[in-house]
Structures are given as structure tokens and as C-alpha cells.
Structure 1
């Protein structure tokens, strides 16, 4: 049995590569991102694809291309796009690879119809294939044509051997018809909007496909209301029930709502180099877990604005086909900044044309010393071609450490520490919100963007939880300050949207909605009993420190004393236990000992709504230092930065 998600991913990409020979290949963004982490574009071209294009209704293929392969998440919009491309091309052989389980595609194709009999009879995948084949046949309009529809679960990437992410679900966040807190305590899938419901089913189907491939038979645990919905689909859907009958390797799956603890993802206190890079550099186009690196310093191109100039493709961090780069990427998660700098300098020194000082003779590696070696390769395309990966990684780290944004982040780190001290010193009558209001008012002088201060505000509300009751006066003052700031900065705050003039009344309404969300953020841990506080006394006994819900959970999980974890619910608890036990439940004190996640050799901890590489490092370290023999995999929908987390929470 392999517990490697990397092996799972590679095995299914091999199935894709077997089908692309002589084909024009079209991919959606999520599939392209997964491909990037498996080896990238050249895997398709070297595997026999005649062309590779994005899945867009504006794309078509040469008339002499007769075979097409579509790699897609099979949403209704994407299926329409596939048909549009087929109509404008001359294909006689089309293969539709659905990265999502066909039983879920069937439900979406038949939204609003009663198809319960088809689903319960396990005929949904076969019916989906019929519908999709008919759709493709109509688009091709040819009597002599070959059509194939197949499900291949392409949805994971693996930054390290113990961490995996799910790019197709990077937008998934614990919301209930757009709200942070559900209206009702009796939750089911229909408490969600149609798109939220679809995302839950799709994520559950992906995990089901992965567990099927890895022969995992899971016990499901969850923390948080949204996670209970994902757990419910995995526990009860006919496809998952059928799969568990055939799988034999016991596994514990722990699903956790990100909203229970937003401090970790909105904090600017970053030790991990990868978190720093992701917080400073823009995202690689179409990707949620890699960055775009300006490589113009190595080229002869005259580029004035690398972020907008399309004549020069950006570099990136992850290079799957270069072992040294894969190692350096893992160092960016798990090692200190000093160790990462020495690692990069060491790799660069082997290609240095100017013979810079040996890494052994250096006491400290600075961004300038790394940049000097990189710049020495300018225009030498032979060296650039052979060592493109490490040069891109080095430039990413150099640009991050030299960026003016680093000063902003350092200032926010110190502000977070001040806030923490204020909260600990004066839990009842704290003036923290007054401090935040003053920061927002003085943001221009301090050169702090409003979006980073909003992330700090979310951090404050999540940190305090229900332990501090802010005064109405301070909250009203913060709302008024936000309203003015949003009016002044709306063009940068909503830069991705169509630029429009915002009225003071509109900005006031946005500020009111933000305040309502912040109050919800403070209530998120109200449902917890043991982990309702994240401000814990330091082990030294002096002062307090932030210890996140995930950290507390993992420390309890690996504790040899096996303490009670009342906040971790088990899907099998409740009526099933009563039925199993019969009347013994009335006569015996305890019919059986309760299950523990570490009873199984493999544990998967999945965080819905994003995670930081710093959290991944700390959780993994807790497992390693505990000495437990279990394989613990850490997973989430994506790597997230403070500003991205803030936008998810406040719906900006």
C-alpha cells in the first residue's frame, strides 16, 4: 500500500498521457495547475500531443487535427465550451476526461429533476456517460466519429510528501448560502447555495476517488458545521458506501473548517520563506499555489511593467522535473530563511560564471549576494536554459526579501504582537479596536494598504473569539473609520472589478457588512468546548502566545495519554451505535471504548478553506517529535495568504 498522494497523482496522469497521442489537448485552469505540479506542458508535448490550448470558447483547432482530448472539471459552462470548440473544429475522435466523478456530473446535469432512483441504483455514472456522449455527438454532427467519456481523478498537487492541496477547489470556503454562520442548527446540503452544494459534492467525490485508488477505508471525523456536510456526503453517498465495501486499509479522515481559527491565515508573522514569497509576489496566471517571478533581469527584453507585459513569460517556484528545485521548494516550507538562502547560494555557485566566494567561506548569504550570481547569467541563454529552475527560485526569494512590501509585513508583525499583549493585559476593557481605527486612519503615512489592515482586523476578531466583548462605542468608531477608508481606497481595494465611482452611502453599507462578518468571526469557536481559546499561556510560564486550533488538535492527537477530544466528532456516533449495541446500551456502563483517529495507521487531516506553509511545517513537526508511527498527511484546498484569507472571510 502506498500512502503517497504523489504516486496517486502520477498514476492517473499516466492514464491521461496514454490518451493524448496525436491529439489536440484542451485544459481548464485547475487541470493545467495540476499538470504544472506533475511536470508541466512538456509532459503533454513529449507524450505526443500535437497542440495544447486553454479551454476557452475562443479557441479552436487546425482543420487537419482530427483527434481532441479535453481535460476538464466538467462544469456546465466548461461542457458548453467543449461543444463550442468541437463545432468550430474538424474532429472525428473526441475524448472527454472528466476530473470529477461522473455520479456528481450526473446530478449537476439533472439539477432540479428527481433522479433519486437512478442514484440509489448506482446507475448515475453510466447515465452521465450517455448524456455526455450525446452532447458531444450533437456538437460533432458526424455519423462516423469516435467519442469517449472517462473519469480520471486529476485534482491533487503535492508540495511535499506529507502535504497535498486541491487546486480545483481553491475557492471552496465554509459558507452557508454566502453566510459565515448558518441560519439553522439543522444543517443539510440544501442549506447551501447551488454552487456551494456542488463544491461539497465535488470535493467529497475527489476524496472518494483518491481513497479508492489508495485502497483506504476511512473512519470520518470532523470539526465544524461545514465539515460535517462533506463528512455526510462521504459517509452516505451510494458510491462511497460501495467503495468502502471493497477497500481494506483502515484510515482516519479528519475534516476541519478553516473558519474555526482564522488567526493563522490572517497573521503576517511568517517564518516560512514560502509564506513570505506568496504574500509578496503575484500569483502565477491561472494558479492558486504558485507565484509569478519577474525574469526580465536575465533577458535582453525591455520590460517596463513585468506584471502586465506579455512579451516575457513569468518564472515560477515549482519545477517538478528538477530534483534540486523540488528539494529547494520543500526547504522553503520546512527550513529557516538562513538555510534556504545557503541552499540557493550553494546551487547557484555551481553555475556561477564570475566565481563568487564559496558558500563555505560566507558567514551570511544576503539577497544581494544571490542576486549578483543570478545577474551574472544575463544573456547567457545556454546557462539559463540548463538551470532555469533554480534561477527562477532564486529570483523569487530575492524579489521577496528586497520588496517594499516586506517592510509592511514586518510592521504588521510588530502590530500583531502589540495587539496580543493588549488583549492579554486587559481582556475586559481592551482598547484594541481603538488602536486598529488609528492604524487605518494613519495608513498612508505608515504606507500600509487597507487590505492588509483588514486582514489584521479579521486576525484580531478571530484571536479574541468570545473571550473579549468589544464596546459598542469602539465598534461604531471602527465602522465609521472603515467607511471613510473604503471610500478613499475603493479603486485599489476592488481593483479586480469594473472601476466605478462608489458613493459614501455604498461604502457605509460595505463597512456595515464587514462589521457584521467580523462579529460572526468572533463567534466561530463558540461551538467548541476544549479549543475555544487560541491565546494560551507560554510553556515558560511568562506571557501568552497564539496556539491555533489545528496545533492544539494535533498535539492532543499524538499525545500518548490520549486525552479526550470532545470537539472532534465521529460520523459513526449516535443512532448507529445504539442499533449496534441493542439493549446492552441500557444495561452496560460502556458498550465499547470510543474510537481514536490514531487507531488507524494512516491519518489525513483536511482543512477546508486554506492553510499556510508555516502551519503545515508546525503540524508535521508535532507529529515527528511525538514519535507516533502513524503516517499523517496534511491537506487543504490551497495555500493562502493573509489578504486572500481576509477576502474569503469578508467576501470582498
Structure 2
């Protein structure tokens, strides 16, 4: 009988293959693999398995003469820059044993090297093993190259994320124009639905085939024959690649379990990506706190409350941030699940309850308080633990989640969440009663620097609940994604009115952005990517990861 546990255990099973190779080795790992490890036990997992050290996958890293073994864990093809970095590290070290683990299947390596015939052996990996020995300086030294799909981040018992495919994004209308521009006029596609995988850029083809290979590995490990459903052009292509995977046909003949997998293009639900309707504590934490450097699925938690240090302008750079991923403590895992699945109010109450319960177990002088949970109250509970190093160490996971909650509740941008939710409800109601230009015109009064004319001159904001440029972009995306729901009107009149109104909106939004003292990461990404990107990588407001939802 297939259960969700079979899928959530898969990431740890894959990491066990890596752990079997790291004894007495220095491990070099790129950011994407490190993020997957982050949710599966972190660096402690490698060190407990016997690894001597964990280093960044960089040409500026190397090992001493007394460190003869290296393990490289990468999320990329063994080509180009990846090979250069491995060669640089080996050349600066004294290795006698090298293991290279890539998350990209050998079948994808064959395609990347223009080899189309199926082979029983792994020639690309075997050739690279010879190269490793050559770089180590002795062909009798040991080299191993293998594929292990350590791509999933097990965020909870019910949810796996794939941060390695964060940039994989559905096709849009401009992409169709780019694809057709390279095809003969008679063979151009009429719509995105007609596009096939072979017409896509090679890099995108490799990414899709790599994802299909990863999904096939999951179903192989769980003995599952899948039934695929797709919503959207990109989802249809990915589902087709999974169905046509060389190893999938034999697996589906013999697999004892059944499961349905539903692929959905993110663009099919933009309101879900940019809306503020989710009454969930974790969603708000992920929205307001800064991302953990190098990560797309976790945020930084300020740990200063757990020390006796005074806050200074440099405090953020002198203290390592906390995070949401807590895999070592059962209590922290339980609290995380509650924060992820319960409503906002229930999640906050559970955070307080667990902090009080934990402090009581440690016999800390805690004062009970009822009523509304405040960030000051949560911080006062957390600060009790800094007087006892043992208690702090034992319950660090729960404390980090408590601090994340407190910092979110007192974050200056949180009032904007409620303001955006109110605007979205008004816009949704108006769409059912008016034509689209009339509804769009309701956004014009919001297109002003926060705080009014006085603050516009100074570039400052006087009200935290007023919408900034990020929120305005999200509201525009939300509204345009629901444009078809508006009341119909005379098409020619509407187009003329809409064009004039959009020019006004563009001018007003441009003014708001130019008056910002500092652009947010979202605005920086949008302004840069609009000039340099051919295929969109991330939707405004979307965290950009692909979730695997399996219905058994």
C-alpha cells in the first residue's frame, strides 16, 4: 500500500547514498545541493557520517596535503564551468580519491553531448573518471562519478519542494514569438499548446528532461506507476517527457503501486501566487522576512534576542542568522507542522503554548499571560533561555520558530498584507459588476508615493499600511489574471479606453518606483530581467519553486 511517507522518505534515501561516500572526505557542494541538504539534516548529517569538512563549490577552495579524499556534490551537468571548478580545486590540492556526484541523470548528459543512442554503460561518467585521475596526477588513483537525485527539500511530511528547478517557468506569449522567429513561416506554431519539446532552446530541453528523470527516480524508488494529468502548455510537455522516459515504460509494467501526478503551470493560477488570501502563519513569515542567502525556500531569523549583545548597525553581519528548517528536534518539527497547516491565529497560539511548555520543563521563571499574543510577549519568553546555555542548545529549533513568529508579527510591512487583502476583495467584487477599464481605474488612486505629496518630495513613507511598488505590481498582476471575469462591453471602446488608462498607470507606477530610496529585490529583478531575459524565470510574487503534489 503506497503512502505519502514513501515519497517524503525518498530525499533521505538519496542522501544516504551520498553519506556512504563521505567518510574521511572533504565535501564540496554547490548552493542548490546545499539547500536540499538544509531541509534534510544540514551539514551535521555529513559530519556525523565521517566527513572531515564541508566547503563551497568554488575555484578558490582547496585542501591540504593531509586531506587526500574529496567528494563533489553538484546540481549541474558535468560540462563547462562545473568541470573548470572541479579541475581548479583538484589542481590546488593533493587528492588520491575523488568522488563526483551530480543530480543530473546520465541520459541527460548523453543528450547534452549530442549522443542519441541508448547505451548500457555510462560513457560520459567513465570518461570523466579518467579525467579526474589525470588531474590528480596518477591514473592509478581512485575516481568515481555517479548520479544521485538529491534535489528535493522535504519541507514537511506532506510537501516536497524542488529548489533546483526554481527558475523553470511556464512558457508565455513572448516565448512563442521567440520560438517562431527561428522556424520557417509554414512551420510556425499557432499557439503555445502546439509547441513541442524539440522546438525549445537546448538549455530548456535539458532542464525539462532532467526534471522528468528526477520524477522517474521517485516513482522507481517507491514502486509506483503514475497516471499523469497536465494543465497548461509547459505541464503538458513535462508530463510527455515523463511518459516517454526510457526507464518509465518497464517500471509502469511491473510497479505494484498506483499514484496520480498533476502538473499545473504556475501561470494557470496567478491569483494564488500573488494574492494575500492565505490565512497562514508560514506564508506571512516567508513573505516578510529576508531570504536566507543562497536559498529560495527559507528565510533569515534574527538571533540577537538569544544573546546579551546590543543591537548595532553591524549586528546583522556579525551574528549567523537562524532559519525555519528544523530537522533535529521532534518538538520543533511538530511546531513547524502546526505553523504550516493551521490558520494564522491558531499557529501563533501554538507558538506561545510550546514556548511556555518548553520554559516550564526547563524550570525557567516564566510568567503566564492570557489574551492576545504579542511579539513582545514571545520575545520575553525566548529571552529566558539565554541565561541557560544547555536549555538554549536543547530547544534551539523551537526558539528559532518563536523568533520568526515574533519578528513577523512586528514587521512594518505586515499591515500592508491586510490592506492588499482588502483591495483584492474589492477588486474581485467590482469585476462582477463593471467592465475591466472601470475596475482598473480603481487602482489609479493607489499609484502614489506612500504618505502623500509631502513624503513624495522627501522619498519617505509615513504609513506602513499604504501600498508600495511591490504591492502595486502584485495587485496589477492579480487584476489582470482575472480580467476575463469582468463584465463585457463594446470591444472597440474598451480597447481605446484601456490603452489610455494603461498609459496613465505606467506613468504613475514609474513615478512611484523612481521615488523609492532603495529598490526591493523584486523590483531589482524585474527591472534587470526585463532587459536581459528571454524566458521568464520567476513570476512577480511567486517564490518560484515547483511543488510535487501526489494523490495516492
Distance 1:466 1:79, change over 3 A: farther
State the shift of 1:302 in Å. Answer: 4.5
Instruction: Give the one of 14, 24, 33 matched to 2:26.
Output: 24
State the shift of 1:327 in Å. Answer: 1.3
Aligned to 2:328: 321
The answer to whether the Cα contact below 8 Å between 1:29 and 1:286 also exists between their aligned partners in 2 is yes
Aligned to 2:148: 152
Distance 1:435 1:254, change over 3 A: same
Aligned to 2:234: 226
Aligned CA-pair RMSD = 3.1
State the shift of 1:10 in Å. Answer: 1.6
Distance 1:40 1:458, change over 3 A: same
Aligned to 1:286: 294
Q: What pairs with 1:239-388 in structure 2 (closer than 5 Å)?
A: 239-305=247-313, 309-349=316-356, 350-351=358-359, 355-358=365-368, 362-388=370-396
SS of the equivalent of 1:94 reads strand
The answer to whether the Cα contact below 8 Å between 1:175 and 1:226 also exists between their aligned partners in 2 is yes
Distance 1:494 1:362, change over 3 A: closer
Q: Which runs of 5+ in 2 are unaligned?
A: 181-188, 453-462, 488-493
SS of the equivalent of 2:359 reads coil
Distance 1:510 1:78, change over 3 A: closer
Instruction: Give the one of 138, 142, 151 matched to 2:138.
Output: 142
Distance 1:231 1:258 in 2: 15
Distance 1:342 1:43, change over 3 A: same
The answer to whether the Cα contact below 8 Å between 2:71 and 2:98 also exists between their aligned partners in 1 is yes
SS of the equivalent of 2:442 reads helix
Instruction: Give the one of 444, 448, 465 matched to 2:467.
Output: 448
Distance 1:611 1:411, change over 3 A: farther
Could you list the per-position Cα deviations for residues 79-129 of structure 1 after superposition, in whole angstroms to 9, with x for gaps in the alignment? 332222111111110111112212112322x1xx3x22x2xx344x61221
Distance 2:158 2:95 in 1: 42
- Bigger Cα displacement from structure 2, 334-343 vs 91-100: 334-343
Distance 1:485 1:496, change over 3 A: closer
Distance 1:8 1:433 in 2: 47
State the shift of 1:483 in Å. Answer: 3.3
Could you list the per-position Cα deviations for residues 221-244 of structure 1 after superposition, in whole angstroms to 9, with x for gaps in the alignment? 211101111112111232333443
The answer to whether the Cα contact below 8 Å between 1:271 and 1:337 also exists between their aligned partners in 2 is yes
The answer to whether the Cα contact below 8 Å between 1:293 and 1:315 also exists between their aligned partners in 2 is yes
Q: Which runs of 5+ in 1 are unaligned?
A: 522-606, 620-630, 634-652
Q: What pairs with 1:47-66 in structure 2 (closer than 5 Å)?
A: 47-66=49-68
Query: TM-score, normalising length from structure 1?
Result: 0.72
SS of the equivalent of 2:227 reads strand
Aligned to 1:477: 504
Query: TM-score, normalising length from structure 2?
Result: 0.84
SS of the equivalent of 2:70 reads strand
- Are residue 391 (structure 1) and residue 396 (structure 2) matched? no
The answer to whether the Cα contact below 8 Å between 1:104 and 1:202 also exists between their aligned partners in 2 is yes
- Bigger Cα displacement from structure 2, 230-239 vs 315-324: 230-239
State the shift of 1:393 in Å. Answer: 0.3
Aligned to 1:404: 412
The answer to whether the Cα contact below 8 Å between 2:103 and 2:150 also exists between their aligned partners in 1 is yes
Distance 2:129 2:468 in 1: 51
State the shift of 1:266 in Å. Answer: 0.2
Could you list the per-position Cα deviations for residues 510-562 of structure 1 after superposition, in whole angstroms to 9, with x for gaps in the alignment? 69x9xxx9xxx9xxxxxxxxxxxxxxxxxxxxxxxxxxxxxxxxxxxxxxxxx
The answer to whether the Cα contact below 8 Å between 2:470 and 2:522 also exists between their aligned partners in 1 is no
Distance 1:180 1:278, change over 3 A: farther
Distance 2:32 2:244 in 1: 27
The answer to whether the Cα contact below 8 Å between 2:29 and 2:72 also exists between their aligned partners in 1 is yes
State the shift of 1:294 in Å. Answer: 0.4
- Bigger Cα displacement from structure 2, 479-488 vs 294-303: 479-488
State the shift of 1:258 in Å. Answer: 0.9
Aligned to 1:105: 109
Distance 1:172 1:479 in 2: 28
The answer to whether the Cα contact below 8 Å between 1:174 and 1:608 also exists between their aligned partners in 2 is no
Could you list the per-position Cα deviations for residues 491-528 of structure 1 after superposition, in whole angstroms to 9, with x for gaps in the alignment? 51568969xxx9xxx99x969x9xxx9xxx9xxxxxxx
Aligned to 1:93: 97
Q: How many residues align?
A: 507
